[in-house]
Amino acid sequence: MEGQFEAVVEVDEAGQLSSDVWDCEMEEVYTAHLVTAPAGAFVGQVREAYQSILARVEEACCVALPFTKDQSNRLAQLIKEQWGDLPDPPFAKLPTYGAFRHPSNNKWYALVSQIPRDKLDGSGSQEEVEIVNLKVDGREIAELLSQSGIFPAYHMSKKTWVSVLLDDTVEDQTVFDLLEKSRFLVGPKSYKAAQGPDYWVIPANPKVYDIDTEFAENKVVYWPQKSTIQAGDIVAIYVTAPVQAIRYVCRVLGANLENHGESDIPTEKKLMQVELLAQFSDDVLPRARMMDLGVKAVRGPRRLTEGVIEVLSAEVKNLY
């Protein structure tokens, strides 16, 4: 409109967006486009141009949030970054519910929902709260329920599921650790030895963590505790893109260790200590061969297939 108007769009520190149309000739905010009554063609042109700009800003700068609570949305973003999983509404009549499913079998490992607080704690309060249902090891139920913000599962088996209140009572890292375990528990199970160690593969992103330098300097390192990995288990480390191959094989020396500042891992996260057993060239177990041997993707900790274990056994001396 020949520079007569400007669209002014501002975002404050809280992330709230506001916008106005500025009349450059009059040097004041223009408001005629806000009138709902029928207006002339000129006002219609201003309104159309303004709405077009807002639509472009929304497309380029805004992210649709799936849930109502900040913690829920932070966790949804973490899940997307870690595994690429997105929530879907499992019930047509409850569009605000969101289920996260394991891509291998489509089973839920997390269900986010909104319920009256009374349904969770029997307090009588009708305040709406947001929760996530997570699958857990039944042997850990009692310990988990002793923690503030964790309750017997709402509308799911209370023997193997819990409900976690998503109001920051439980720290993000704790909830994410439970999410990681839940995803593992509902996922398809690869080979698990009847006796002896379990065999795992975990990812390492070279853009985030320089694992090559770490192992060049130290044969024993600390790693964030993953899933149900135990001392004595064998862990293969898959280096993600651009490498995309298993490069390191380790034995777990200790699991579920308290973090007293031994590493740069956040202190609230438990650790496992691993010892380097072998380093492979990237043509031993590249992604293509892993897929042929039954390991389709490594987005998080998972047990190895018998085919990959056979390769490890052949390549690594004294693996057992």
267 vs 51, more confident:
51
| pLDDT at residue number 165 | 97
Nearest Cα residue to 192 out of 309, 292, 106: 309
Range of weakest confidence among 108-122, 140-154, 160-174, 222-236: 222-236
Q: How confident is the model at residue 265 (pLDDT cuts 50, 70, 90)?
A: confident
| pLDDT at residue number 199 | 93
| pLDDT at residue number 194 | 60
**137-159 average pLDDT score:** 94
**70-95 average pLDDT score:** 91
Is CATH 3.40.50.300 the classification given to domain 199-315? no
Domain with CATH 3.10.590.10 in the chain: 199-315
Q: How confident is the model at residue 62 (pLDDT cuts 50, 70, 90)?
A: low
Fold of 70-186: Aspartate Aminotransferase, domain 1 (3.90.1150)
**258-284 average pLDDT score:** 86
The per-residue pLDDT of the chain, averaged, comes to 88
**245-266 average pLDDT score:** 88
pLDDT at 299 over 80: yes
pLDDT at 14 over 70: no
92 vs 1, more confident:
92
Domain with CATH 3.90.1150.30 in the chain: 70-186
User: Residue 76's Cα: distance from chain center in Å?
Assistant: 6
pLDDT at 103 over 90: no
| pLDDT at residue number 192 | 64
14 vs 103, more confident:
103
Range of weakest confidence among 98-112, 238-252, 255-269: 255-269
Percent of the chain scored above 70 by pLDDT? 93
**247-260 average pLDDT score:** 93
Q: How confident is the model at residue 193 (pLDDT cuts 50, 70, 90)?
A: low
Residue 317 class from Cβ within 10 Å (0-12 exposed, 13-18 middle, 19+ buried)?
exposed
194 vs 11, more confident:
11
CA dist 167 and 31 (Å) reads: 39
Q: How confident is the model at residue 73 (pLDDT cuts 50, 70, 90)?
A: very high
Beta strands 199-204 and 234-239: pairing type?
parallel
| pLDDT at residue number 197 | 87
**184-196 average pLDDT score:** 71
| pLDDT at residue number 116 | 96
Beta strands 161-165 and 128-135: pairing type?
antiparallel
Percent of the chain scored above 90 by pLDDT? 56
Q: How confident is the model at residue 316 (pLDDT cuts 50, 70, 90)?
A: very high
Q: How confident is the model at residue 167 (pLDDT cuts 50, 70, 90)?
A: very high
